[in-house]
Amino acid sequence: MGQTIIEKIISNHSSQRVTAGDIAIVDVDLVMATDTTGPLTIKAFENMGGTKIWDPTKMVLVIDHASPAPNEGIAVLHDLMRKFATEQNIKLYDVGDGICHQLIIENQHVKPGQLVLGADSHTCTYGAIGTFSTGVGSTDLAGAMLTGKTWLKVPETIKINITGTLQEGVVAKDLILYLVGILGIQGATYQAIEFTGEVIERMTLESRMVLANMVIEMGAKAGLVDLKGLDLPYDYEILKPDEDANYTRIIDIDVSDLEMQVAAPHSPDNIKGISEIGEVQIQQAFIGSCTNGRLEDLHVAADILKGKKVHPKVRFIIAPASRQVFQEALADGTIEILSAAGASFLPSGCGPCVGTHQGIPGNGENVASSTNRNFQGRMGNHNSNVYLGSPAFVATAALHGKIVNHNLTTKEAIDSL
Amino acid sequence: MILKGHAHVYGDNIDTDRIIPGKYTKTLDMQRLADHVLEDLDPEFHKIVQPGDMIVAGENFGCGSSREQAPLAIKTAGVSVVIAHSFARIFFRNAINIGLPLIELSSYNIETGDYLEVDISKGIVSNMNNEESYQGAKMPDVMVKILSENGLVEYLKKNKSYS
């Protein structure tokens, strides 16, 4: 029997050839923690009797979830992380540097075929470059810091083959929302997903990151995107699945008719086409997060908002995914366009997405957001409603003060105001 | 080990944002987590939960974030075991790693307030109110070993490595 990609990666990191269902002890190439999970990780590491981590070059800490610190308690936790990083000689990304998953890819901390643990559920993002990366909790991460290893159950794999041509304005976010809708919030629990097909081959790295990022919204352990069509600036080996690899499911989808997709409150799998949503007034619009805060996302928003003003009753907030993204958007004029349209810029970080600070909605308010989760209370107020969609969905909603069918032309949309 | 307590029954897909909202997670004070456990799902829970009580849920309990604060909040509140039809993957590992027992039951007939006895080593749940018993799914051996040491910290302190 042949192997899937994830079976190959896990085999390469363990002493045995594995297939789905096996339990394997594996070597870990990188571990990562944030300010939500890092302090507990450090505590667990010390409680295990840890003094020096197994390899300081293989750990990254990122202060991004509540950054800059919104209160004294969190400032103390940030300080604990900085001291640990200095003592252990670990790379730490500090306030404003960016969101962990963006920084890990941007600064080439991971490569295709590697095995990575991150104490953040969206660690699966690195599947965009063929890395097996998965989210764990603080204590599991501490175990890897101590031993350089972890244990894993080798997951089964679902193959998703995506063909056709996406319509104008329909992007990777719509595609992954559509898939979350089909498979459901636990449709891939304990499993890996392989994405392949001509639609994937035409995607940018940024768009591939969107796909891999949200596989956790189906419960998946990993989402590995076919490397075909991707040009990475270093040498790497491409792992391909064997022809006789075993899949639990093979899904073939032609996405040529797909319209813009939206996750309605209060679950990322409550997916509707934009034409089914009806009119929903919004009070806040947010573009950011590890899902959709990258340069191409800001470009889409700027194209929609150039020379216009967002609706006067909408608070339009943008948190670029990293300082590098911000600087590139500054250099090419994107920031100027968005600022003139009424956007407020936050430091790069996770804040509004995870309800920590900087953009908590009021009671009864509706938010259009480019993030990944809309569970009740996710953005910090359980009496608010979050609609998830692409950056184009958010920018269009910000412009009109309501969710607008993006399938209409801009002129029709303006006439309908 | 036999655990005894009253059941608090909830539905499917109880996500980590509802177990402990993100705004409360940035702390090392576990009691502060317990004070807000499940507050967006059941605002009364943290006030009425008694030591030994059990959470009984449907499919995919603990989906969403990797925050270990979720099982920590539940454990610190005094909950002795979480029983569900299924668990989200990361939550499952986190709970075992911090020594919070979990039992997967494909079906059960349990209502809020029922008095349960749970044999953790055998994975058997008995409902004293209707005198029914249910056999839980078997966990991988490595998890049984970690749980028997009351979590991964003690396991690694003792064993120094995975085996």
Could you tell me if A342 and A261 are in contact, meaning their C-beta atoms sit under 8 angstroms apart? no
Dump the DSSP string for A257-296. Answer: T---EEE-TB-TT-EEEGGGS---B-SEEEE-TTTS-SHH
| Nearest beta carbon to residue A137 from set B18, B63, B68 | B68
What percent of chain A clears pLDDT 70, i.e. is strictly above it? 97
Reported pTM: 0.96
Task: Give, in order, the Cα–Cα distances in Å from B83 to each of A43, A130, A206, B6, B79.
Answer: 28, 35, 40, 12, 11
Report CB contact under 8 Å: B26, A35: yes
Q: Tell me, what's the pLDDT at A405? A: 81
Interchain contact, B18 vs A377, CB within 8 Å:
yes
Q: Among all residues of chain B, which has the CA nearest to that of A268?
A: B64
Task: Tell whether the model's pLDDT for residue A406 goes beyond 80.
Answer: no
Average pLDDT over residues B36-64: 97
Which residue in the set B17, B89, B98 is minimally distant from A378, CB to CB? Answer: B17
Residue A415 reports pLDDT greater than 70 = no
- Chain pair A-B, CB pairs under 8 angstroms: 147
For residue B140, the chain A residue with the least C-alpha distance is A23
Q: How confident is the model at residue A192 (pLDDT cuts 50, 70, 90)?
A: very high
User: What pLDDT does residue A58 have?
Assistant: 98
Residue A186 has pLDDT above 60, yes or no: yes
What are the tens digits of pLDDT across the range A213-239? 999 999 999 999 999 999 999 999 999
pLDDT range class, residue A1, cuts 50, 70, 90: confident
User: How confident is the model over A276-296, as a mean pLDDT?
Assistant: 97
Whether the per-residue pLDDT at B80 is higher than 50: the answer is: yes
- Residue A408 confidence class, pLDDT cut points 50, 70, 90: low
Query: Can you give the residue range of the structural domain that contains B86?
Result: 2-138
Q: What is the pLDDT of residue A407?
A: 66
Query: How far is the CA of A168 from the CAs of A208, A214, A300, in angstroms?
Result: 18, 22, 12
Asked whether residue B88 is assigned to any structural domain, the reply reads: yes
Contacts of A376 in chain B (CB under 8 A): 17-18, 40
Average pLDDT taken over every residue of chain B: 97
Give me the CATH number covering residue B74.
3.20.19.10
- B158 part of a folded domain: no
What integer pLDDT is reported at residue A404 of this predicted model?
86
B143 lies in some domain? no
Cβ-defined contact of A189 to B17 (cutoff 8 Å): no
Q: What is the pLDDT of residue A148?
A: 98
Looking at residue B123, what is its pLDDT?
96
Arithmetic mean of pLDDT, B121-126: 96
Please report the DSSP string for A204-228 in residue order: -HHHHHHHHHGGGGGT-SEEEE--T
Nearest CA in chain B to A215: B64
Assign domain A262-416 to its CATH superfamily: Aconitase, domain 3 (3.30.499.10)
Does the pLDDT at position B39 exceed 50?
yes
On whether the CB atoms of residues B5 and B80 are closer than 8 A, the answer is yes
Q: For the residues A382-408, what does the mean pLDDT come to?
A: 93
Q: Provide the mean pLDDT of chain A.
A: 96
Q: Is residue B49 part of a domain?
A: yes
**Chain segment B52-77, per-residue pLDDT in tens:** 999 999 999 999 999 999 999 999 99
Q: Return the residue of A nearest to B14 by Cα.
A: A375
pLDDT of residue A354: 96
Domain assignment present for residue B163? The answer is no
Burial A31-63 (b: 16+ CB within 10 A, else e): bbbbbbbbbbbbbbbebbebeebbeeebbbbbb
pLDDT at A412: 55
Asked if residue B161 is part of any domain, the answer here is: no
| Cross-chain Cβ contact B156/A48 below 8 Å | yes
Helices (H) and strands (E) in chain B, counts: 7, 7
For residue A83, what are the CA distances in angstroms to A68, A78, A207? 17, 9, 36
Report percent pLDDT > 90 for chain A: 96
C-alpha–C-alpha distance, residues B62 and B30, integer Å: 18
With beta carbons less than 8 A apart as the criterion, state whether A317 and A343 touch: yes
Per-residue confidence (pLDDT) for residue A230, from 0 to 100? 97
Residue A93 confidence (pLDDT) above 70: yes
Which tens digit of pLDDT belongs to each residue from A99-152?
999 999 999 999 999 999 999 999 999 999 999 999 999 999 999 999 999 999
| Count: domains in chain B | 1
Chain B, residues 106-135, CB within 8 A of chain A, namely: none
pLDDT attached to residue A409: 47
Residue among B117, B95, B6, B110 at smallest CA distance from B53 = B6
Average pLDDT over residues A57-65: 98
Q: B138 CB near a chain A CB, below 8 Å?
A: no
Q: Tell me: the pLDDT tens digits for B1-34?
A: 899 999 999 999 999 999 999 999 999 999 999 9
Within a domain: B153: no
User: Residues of chain B with pLDDT > 70: what percent?
Assistant: 100
Positive or negative, the Cα torsion across A282, A283, A287, A291? negative
Interface contact B156-A378, CB threshold 8 A: no
The answer, for B42 touching chain A at a CB cutoff of 8 Å, is: no
Task: Kindly state whether residue B30 falls inside one of the protein's structural domains.
Answer: yes
Helical segments of B12-126, H only: 16-19, 30-34, 45-48, 69-76, 89-97
